[in-house]
Amino acid sequence: MNDGFVRVACATPKIRVADCGYNAEAVISMAKEACEHGASLVVFPELCITGYTCSDLFLQNSLLISAEKALCQIMTSTRELDAVLMVGLPVRAFSALYNCAAVICKGELLGLVPKTYIPNYSEFYEVRHFTSGRQLSSDVSKNTIRFCGKDTVIDPDVIFSCTSMPEFRIGVELCEDLWTPEPPSGKLAINGATVIANLSASDEVIGKADYRRLLIKSQSARLLSTYVYASAGIGESTTDLVFSGHDIICENGALLSESKRFGSGIIYADTDLQKLENERARANTFEGRNELRTVPFDIDLKELELGRYISPTPFVPADKARLDERCEEILTIQATGLAKRIEHTNAKSVVLGLSGGLDSTLALIVAVHSMDMLGRSRKDIIAVTMPCFGTTKRTKSNAQILAENYGTSFMDIDISKAVRQHFEDIGQSMDVLDVTFENGQARERTQVIMDIANKTGGFVIGTGDLSELALGWATYNGDHMSMYGVNTSIPKTLVRHLTAYEASHSEGALKDSLLDILNTPVSPELLPPKDGEISQKTEDLVGPYELHDFFLYYLVRFGFTPGKIFRLAKSAFKDKYDVETIEKWLRTFLRRFFAQQFKRSCLPDGPKVGTVTLSPRGDWRMPSDACNSSFTF
């Protein structure tokens, strides 16, 4: 697949203990099925050619010879498959026995990877039969054996790298290796492996599945990798243990796919290796070492329909309980940041323009929480409504209801007279509804609240959000400016949920007002209303905020190309927007994002609450004159 996507699979066949020929046929059948479904990597369980539970049969020459023949059979029968296959079997080398993963591609044996940590539990007495791969020399001339008719490296420290897709680099560890204090996958990831394949035979006892899942998720997160875990299942001996075939695929802490336990079959996941590479570069803790042996392979990039869910709201958790928890945390972060600034500056008041719209409502909510946190009177919050030519009765009324019910100070200052005087001074006609007409009102409002802050010994709270900053949808030195911007890293899609969360914890007139604000069209209200209703709707002019927030997330968070963002957006919004609409607004987003950086280069302070922020002092440092010619699709 292109754009960094690779389809990976875990395959747990139904086996017969010590019947290598039967097991080989099961592996071949599942490998073909997985490749028919577009898999480029198929991972089978530990020792699946023989069965994990052969016990002392592993010391029998007949079984070892049969296992090697079975691997040769698998290689011959999968020669036409365009994928990497990983199959477990015992291998005798240098007078010792190793528990190995055989790595195969297009009928060629790329290498044998031995298990590093050999368990010595009463139920897993592997140490009776197998030797650790750590005993092997790192010198290729000393760890090459003849296997399946070819000279093959047997080495735990090897990375298999795809020549046609450089970010597709596979490291291998086996079962117990993951459960140790220092798993081999750490070294493999540091040396560039983006995918860790684990061939496992993990028995099932009460509570182990949850721990196993958590362990794999955690390891994939620590390594910023995709972890493909295939475990033994049906067919293993049940003399003392039961194996459930619990297969798991995780990507950077996220569970992509998981099998049902106590069965056999194949699971798939489309992993985004490009995203992992970008995450590693951003983290800057992966040292780019090149200390391990690299074995190249080549497979074709498959053009497949994306088989993973893409959330249309990446800033907003889908789970209601998690969303409520996130909202509470965000409000606390915002309020804590503002409280510190109030305390540090010894501010006697905080002042904000309260329009009756979403952003200023959230800013007021944060201010209220901050004052409560500091144990101060809410009267120290001065909410100022400043009606002018575009103000509607609905928004002005909501602003007053909010202030009254929160118990803040409130001022109603009609600025239309001052703006008319200003327009007369600069020769601006009241009949010309241009950018001067709009921005003159915005800057007058900022002047008013700045002066009130001076008069009351306080400072101005900014109300603008992250989405507006990304688009440059702010009047320079108007609503663009404040002494502390509490919403500076809150995208518009999240502003709505934070306000809804506050409404769910409110009662009476306050709750009704908050709900009405949620149903009010987003607007700067700078143009005259029509029949008393808002005439200027922001999303009609710059596009849907849910699209822009989606574009922003993947551009800034992961550094994706516009072409990849376009592809993801088509998948995420396929039931809501047509392709032409998505393309139109993505082009608008890119144009405005680059053209409006100068506004972001001089932003006031504000708290970071998520992984995406555009603060010039923090996560986003971009020249104001950067061109977007390289960001086309």
Higher pLDDT, 172 or 237: 172
Domain with CATH 3.60.110.10 in the chain: 5-297
Is there a catalytic annotation at residue 250? no
Count CB neighbours of 624 within 10 A.
Answer: 14
396 pLDDT more than 80: no
pLDDT band for position 257 (cuts 50, 70, 90): very high
Q: pTM of the predicted model, to two decimals?
A: 0.86
140 pLDDT more than 70: no
Name the active-site residue from 10, 48, 148, 175.
175
User: What average pLDDT does the segment 265-293 reach?
Assistant: 88
Is there a catalytic annotation at residue 46? yes
pLDDT tens, 502-540? 999 999 999 999 998 888 776 655 556 666 665 556 677
Cα 588–chain centre separation: 24
- pLDDT, residue 523, reads 60
Name the active-site residue from 48, 54, 105, 115.
115
**Of 312, 186, 194, 174, which Cα lies nearest the Cα of 251?**
194
* Residue whose structure tokens are 């802050």: 453
Domain with CATH 3.40.50.620 in the chain: 320-600
- pLDDT, residue 619, reads 84
Is there a catalytic annotation at residue 33? no
290 pLDDT more than 60: yes
Percent of the chain with pLDDT over 90: 75
pLDDT band for position 630 (cuts 50, 70, 90): confident
Q: What is the CATH number of domain 320-600?
A: 3.40.50.620
As a whole number of angstroms, the distance between CA 562 and CA 590 comes to 8
- Among 128-142, 246-260, 434-448, 475-489, the least confident range: 128-142
- Among 118-122, 144-148, 269-273, 587-591, the least confident range: 118-122
Count of residues in the chain: 633
- Among 460-474, 521-535, 591-605, the least confident range: 521-535
As a whole number of angstroms, the distance between CA 48 and CA 19 comes to 10
As a whole number of angstroms, the distance between CA 608 and CA 268 comes to 36
* Residue whose structure tokens are 């009405």: 516
- pLDDT, residue 524, reads 56
As a whole number of angstroms, the distance between CA 253 and CA 218 comes to 6
Name the active-site residue from 10, 20, 35, 46.
46
* Residue whose structure tokens are 């409006």: 596
User: What average pLDDT does the segment 156-181 reach?
Assistant: 95
Token digits of residue 209: 């599945």
pLDDT tens, 29-44? 999 999 999 999 999 9
pLDDT tens, 317-356? 888 888 999 999 999 999 999 999 999 999 999 999 998 8
Q: How far apart are the first and last CA of the chain?
A: 18
453 pLDDT more than 60: yes
Percent of the chain with pLDDT over 70: 96
As a whole number of angstroms, the distance between CA 299 and CA 84 comes to 8
User: What average pLDDT does the segment 541-560 reach?
Assistant: 93
323-328 long-range contacts, CB within 8 A, separation 24+:
323/497, 323/501, 324/501, 327/497, 327/498, 327/501, 328/501
Cβ-based neighbours of 149, under 8 Å, separated by 6 or more: 72
pLDDT tens, 74-103? 999 999 999 999 999 999 999 899 999 999
Count CB neighbours of 182 within 10 A.
Answer: 10
* Domain 5-297 homologous superfamily, CATH: Carbon-nitrogen hydrolase (3.60.110.10)
User: What average pLDDT does the segment 278-283 reach?
Assistant: 88
- pLDDT, residue 531, reads 63
- From residue 524, alpha-carbon distances to 5, 416, 456, 521, 534 in Å are 41, 15, 27, 10, 9
- pLDDT, residue 536, reads 53
* 257 bridge partner residues: 249
